[in-house]
Each structure stands twice: as C-alpha cells, then as structure tokens.
Amino acid sequence: NAGVIQTPRHKVTGKGQEATLWCEPISGHSAVFWYRQTIVQGLEFLTYFRNQAPIDDSGMPKERFSAQMPNQSHSTLKIQSTQPQDSAVYLCASSPPNERLFFGHGTKLSVL
Amino acid sequence: AQKVTQTQTSISVMEKTTVTMDCVYETQDSSYFLFWYKQTASGEIVFLIRQDSYKKENATVGHYSLNFQKPKSSIGLIITATQIEDSAVYFCAMREGVGDNSKLIWGLGTSLVVNP
C-alpha cells in the first residue's frame, strides 16, 4: 500500500496562472479531504468528498478554487488565477468511514 | 462554535523524560472524537491516538497516552520515555457528531524538541 499519493510535490506558478494538484487516495477509503497548511493559519479545511460525492466545501475560497473527484482513484484541486497568498502546502487525506485520516506528503505551491 | 486550542507553542525536553502537551476544545455536541497527530520534519502527518468522548478510560498506545478531562474540555497528550525521533509538531484535533467523516477542527500545534 503506497499510501495517499500527491503530485506534484512542488509546484511553482506565476501570479495569474492556473495550478492543478492531484491526489490518489488509498484504495477502499470512502472519504477524501483537502487541507491547506500555512505558518500563519495552520491547517485549514478546504473540502471533502465521501464516495466521490462532494459533502462539504465550506473551507474553499469561492471564486478561484474548485475540487473534483471524477472517480474513486483520484481527486483534483484546481486554483485559477493563482495569487501569492495561495502559496501554501496543500494536503490530501483519505480515510475509511469514521476512522483516522491518512495524509499524503502534500504539494508545496509557490506563487511568484 | 467549535474550536481547538493548543496554548503551548513549543516545548523542549531531555531525552527519556515525560512530556505533556495541552489541548482544550469547545463543542456543543454531546458526542465527539478527539485525535492527536504528529507532523515530522519531512512534513508527513501521522495519526497517534484517539479518544472518543463517551469513553471514560484514557486511551493509551505505546508510549503515548491521553489525559481526558471531560468537565474541563481538555485532552492532554502524554509522551513517556521521550526519544530524539519524537521531535515533531503535535496537533490536537476534534471531530463532532455521529455522522461519518465530518471535517476535523485543528489546533495550531505544539513543537516538541527532544534533546540528547
């Protein structure tokens, strides 16, 4: 079991460009979460899916962020028109029902 | 509103000693779940231990144990016989309710340095 796989590990974009982050959850896990981590804000919840259906996106900045889970083997987080304040580590986690989270290593996004 | 507070920003201890990290939480739910996770220097976040609110007995896993004081809304993490590799950032988190996989509310973390 390779764990939760996130690609790329590092991404550098210019201001205004689009960034797409990928997550492959652990096979058989029903829930997939996206978090953002910064020094100032800590771990911030963005959104989560259960059995591929979006359940709660209350943490997502409404205008430029979107997440999808087109199949049970991967989820994407897309940020349009990236801004310097979007620079952070984006973490994906998956879990079986009512169990602990298994985190990926994260994608470090740097917006120049 | 749900909230998790870790008041200790950083702790430094000598190897083989015992350390306690504090965490207090706020919730309106009668049923909730409390977790401790550890983030290593590489950035990896791993689960350590869990306490369900309806359980009176403190959870213990290996050299990690919890001090659950429900009337004080407190869930302290105790690490006994600390090792150098315990150096990491420790996060307390809470999940409310009985619905599955609802989001976790996180504290800001406590950085632990274990010195030789």
Mean pLDDT of chain B: 93
Distance CA(B6)–CA(B8), nearest Å, equals: 6
The values of phi and psi at residue B44, to 5°, are -70, 135
Residue B63 in tokens: 């050299």
Task: Please answer yes or no on whether A50 and B45 come within 8 Å at the CB atom.
Answer: no
pLDDT grade, residue A64 (50/70/90)?
A: very high
* pLDDT attached to residue A2: 79
* pLDDT attached to residue B96: 78
Please name which of A45, A67, A68, A49 lies closest in space to residue A58, comparing C-alpha atoms. A45
pLDDT grade, residue B30 (50/70/90)?
A: confident
Let me know: does A65 contact A79? Beta carbons within 8 Å: yes
Let me know: does B38 contact B90? Beta carbons within 8 Å: yes
In sequence order, what are the residues at sequence separation of 6 or more whose Cβ sits closer than 8 angstroms to the Cβ of residue A25?
A4, A32, A72, A73, A74, A75, A92, A94
pLDDT in tens, B75-84: 999 999 999 9
B98, pLDDT greater than 90: no
* B107–A contact, CB cutoff 8 A: yes
* pLDDT attached to residue B99: 59
Which of B45, B101, B105 is closest, CB to CB, to A98?
B101
